[in-house]
Structure 1
Amino acid sequence: MTPKHFVPFQQLRQQPTIAVDSTGLGAVLTLAHWRGATTPELLRDDTSAGSVLRALREPTTSGLEAAAVTANHFDIDGFVGVWALLNPALALRHEPLLRQVATLGDFREINWANPLADHALQLVCWLNAEEKNRFYEPFGAPARRRREDEASAEKFAWFLPRFAAVLENPAVGQAAWEPEYGRVKQAAAIMQSPATTIRRYPEIGLTVVRTPEPVPYYALFGPTTGTDMVLSLYDGQRYELEYKYTTWIDLESRPTLPRLPLQALANCLNELEMGARRWTFDGITDTGPLLRLSGKGLTKAQRYADPDQRPIYSSAIPPAQLEEEVVAFFRSHYAGVEPRRYWSWADIRAVGEVEQHRISSSAGRKLG
């Protein structure tokens, strides 16, 4: 295979270039799980890094001969994909581990029974810590008046030559990964204890987690694998509902239901809410839309950060009633909608518009 090197995204059209975890006109090969990406059908995977690893096992793939590789942002999945193209032999040797790293980085899902789980968590925590300490947090470029596609090139330049050493010997980066790793492991123990209860509603793709305090995503989302929404119920009647990233991308491994606008659910909950705070929500095209009681507006970087790193406010609604309302809403609105793969954003909006029309018609009949 042609030896490869990383180029900043702005240089995409200056030479034949492979785009990883990104879309861009002019790429000779796209390896991304984004909706509508032109990833070859045989290379589609849940993660962009997974598509890269598939491509490495199909060396005759058209475009794979290009020497330049790029991405328009830095995150763990995209970085692993770029690094694998630059280090194909080592990547294939560690393929199961790299797949776990990419999945944990993007979906925050980890299977603790897997013997590689600890190693994957250490690598992810090392990437997180070094990124924040040396550069800026995910989605933090705009606050620094920088474009992510430009600023992220500095991250790639630092991480690409250093990742292999930590991959093969995590102790090399232990000083960086240990604090977050310890926090996640402690939270995971609580999630696996009698203090936590988990209920799944597979017909609507929802997992309900009731646990005393907010925990890091890597602990919270582990038990939610296979579902696409998480309702978190914390002591003190503090709640959050979140659509996972699994419904922002084209998930290859299983069909999913489309995201629904959360306006109607927020309206329902606001009718029940006795306090001064109101239920607010993010749009369906956000990477991880949240429904939560309002406070000071959260930035994208704060919303992406762990639940235990942001304020979550007390509601007047008892937890059993909140769960009942959320489950009833999605059961009603997903009735007649069949899960499938490869929803386009136009398809998703169309489902939402149909549901909005149905709600408006129902409200009109009640008023009449």
Structure 2
Amino acid sequence: MQKRKFIPFSEVKHQKAIVVDSAHPNGVLLSHWRGTPTPEAIQDDTSAAIVLNALRLNLPELGVANVTANHFDIDGFVGVWALLNPELALENEELLRQMAIIGDFRELDLNHPLAGEALKLVCWINAKERALFYKPFEADTMEEKEAAQCVQKFNYFLREFGTVLGNPDWEKGAWEDEVASVLLGYRDVYKPDTMLTRYPEIGLVIVETPHPVHYYALFSRTQGFDIVLSCYQGNKYELEYKYTTWVDIASRPTLPRISMAPLAARLNELENSGRRWTFDAITETGPLLRLQGEDLTRTEAYESPTEREIYTSSIPVQVLKEQVVSFFDASYKGIERKYKWTWKEVKELNSGSGK
């Protein structure tokens, strides 16, 4: 197989490279980013899965010596590592696929026989990333931005990952706390006091559970849905578009993102707690609508709900749920699901709606 090396993203303009989970005009793109020209034969939901499909088929386009990405996350890292270690990657193909799903879409499914091992590896990466480098999106506020900063992360994890893959328990001290938090939350969202209401026609699932849990636990019950309304005790709420609508997923058609500006305006008419409902732009990776949402940095918004304060609303839960459902029912009227929405199409649908 082709011997490859990782190069910083800035070097792609000077030398052709396989570009993973990113885009560049001088690259062979293996990415689920919206609008990237992924060959039909290797299309998949995550970029790592696209890479693994390409390796499995031994695509001729893979005959490039350089590999890169413009950011570090688990999906992108798995794809880069797989290209540099193709034989070992194909031996561990299903485990790596699970890592990418958990890391990117936060959809943990402990019914999968390899999900437990994948979770350990994902949490090991999370822990080491925070301890040794910087949190996701923190580079936004640094002088040197993510495309340059992430090289140090790639260099470390490309060197160390093979050892931990072979024996995750060797690094148990790094991952055990987060794994425990995930498993406790997973248990909680499957208890009788957690209620789910699904609205498949609008891609919405309402999760009513006593308290916030880790994202990997919360989204474990949202597979196949793209909008999650979390309702916690004490009239605490968050509404979120999942990352599944930021990328091109291949497993199912989706509806486009709709600006939550009109919904926020309506909730502010009803809210008398003294706080205001705010919303993220539809181009954010996981747009949130919540009370005092503008107070969150991108790093804080990316963290699990357990890591941020969620404020008490004056709106009763039944009223809140009715407002959310009626908003999306009206917004999606006449819009059909499809594959590969373009950002141009999404923005045109939202023109005049606020943000």
User: With structure 1 as the length reference, what TM-score do the two structures score?
Assistant: 0.94
Q: Distance in 2 between matches of 1:102 and 1:305?
A: 17
Q: Which amino acid aligns with 1:22?
A: S
TM-fit CA distance, 1:173: 1.5
Once the two structures are overlaid, the 10-residue window that deviates more, 227-236 or 189-198, is: 189-198
Structure-1 residue corresponding to 2:50: 51
Q: Distance in 1 between matches of 2:273 and 2:211?
A: 21
SS at match of 2:323: helix
Q: Which amino acid aligns with 1:10?
A: S
SS at match of 1:161: helix
TM-superposition CA deviations, 1:126-166 (whole Å, max 9, x none): 00000000000011112332210000000000000211111
Structure-2 residue corresponding to 1:117: 115
Structure-2 residue corresponding to 1:201: 199
Q: Which amino acid aligns with 1:152?
A: C
Q: Distance in 2 between matches of 1:44 and 1:306?
A: 29
Q: How does 1:160-309 map to 2 (within 5 A)?
A: 160-294=158-292, 297-309=295-307
TM-fit CA distance, 1:295: 6.1
Q: How does 1:76-87 map to 2 (within 5 A)?
A: 76-87=74-85
SS at match of 2:108: coil
**Is this contact kept in 2: 1:277–1:295, CA < 8 A?**
no
Q: Which amino acid aligns with 1:179?
A: D
Task: Name structure 2 gaps, 5 residues minimum.
Answer: none
TM-superposition CA deviations, 1:63-116 (whole Å, max 9, x none): x11111000000000000000000001111111111010011000001111111
**Is this contact kept in 2: 1:13–1:26, CA < 8 A?**
yes
TM-fit CA distance, 1:195: 2.1
**Is this contact kept in 2: 1:5–1:69, CA < 8 A?**
yes
TM-fit CA distance, 1:296: 6.3
TM-fit CA distance, 1:239: 0.2
Q: Does 1:102 align with 2:86?
A: no
TM-fit CA distance, 1:14: 2.6
TM-fit CA distance, 1:117: 1.2
Q: How does 1:59-78 map to 2 (within 5 A)?
A: 59-62=58-61, 64-78=62-76
SS at match of 2:258: coil
TM-superposition CA deviations, 1:313-368 (whole Å, max 9, x none): 000111111011101110111111000000001111122238x49xxxxxxxxxxx
Q: Distance in 1 between matches of 2:5 and 2:40?
A: 25
Q: Distance in 1 between matches of 2:259 and 2:294?
A: 22
SS at match of 2:159: coil
Structure-2 residue corresponding to 1:133: 131
Equivalent residue in structure 2 for 1:310, among 281, 296, 308: 308
Structure-2 residue corresponding to 1:36: 35
Structure-2 residue corresponding to 1:366: none
SS at match of 1:57: helix
Q: Distance in 2 between matches of 1:184 and 1:39?
A: 33
Q: Distance in 2 between matches of 1:208 and 1:60?
A: 42
Structure-1 residue corresponding to 2:15: 15
**Is this contact kept in 1: 2:278–2:293, CA < 8 A?**
no
**Is this contact kept in 2: 1:55–1:61, CA < 8 A?**
no
1:142 to 1:195, Cα distance in 2 relative to 1, 3 A: same
Q: Distance in 1 between matches of 2:268 and 2:140?
A: 32
Structure-2 residue corresponding to 1:360: none
Once the two structures are overlaid, the 10-residue window that deviates more, 52-61 or 174-183, is: 52-61
TM-superposition CA deviations, 1:226-268 (whole Å, max 9, x none): 0000000001100000000000001111000000011110111
**Is this contact kept in 2: 1:103–1:109, CA < 8 A?**
yes
Task: Name structure 1 gaps, 5 residues minimum.
Answer: 358-368
Q: Distance in 2 between matches of 1:351 and 1:111?
A: 34
Structure-2 residue corresponding to 1:26: 26
1:186 to 1:297, Cα distance in 2 relative to 1, 3 A: same
Q: Which amino acid aligns with 1:61?
A: P
Q: Distance in 1 between matches of 2:17 and 2:336?
A: 38
| Number of residue pairs aligned between Structure 1 and Structure 2 | 354
Q: Distance in 1 between matches of 2:6 and 2:18?
A: 9
Q: Distance in 1 between matches of 2:187 and 2:161?
A: 28
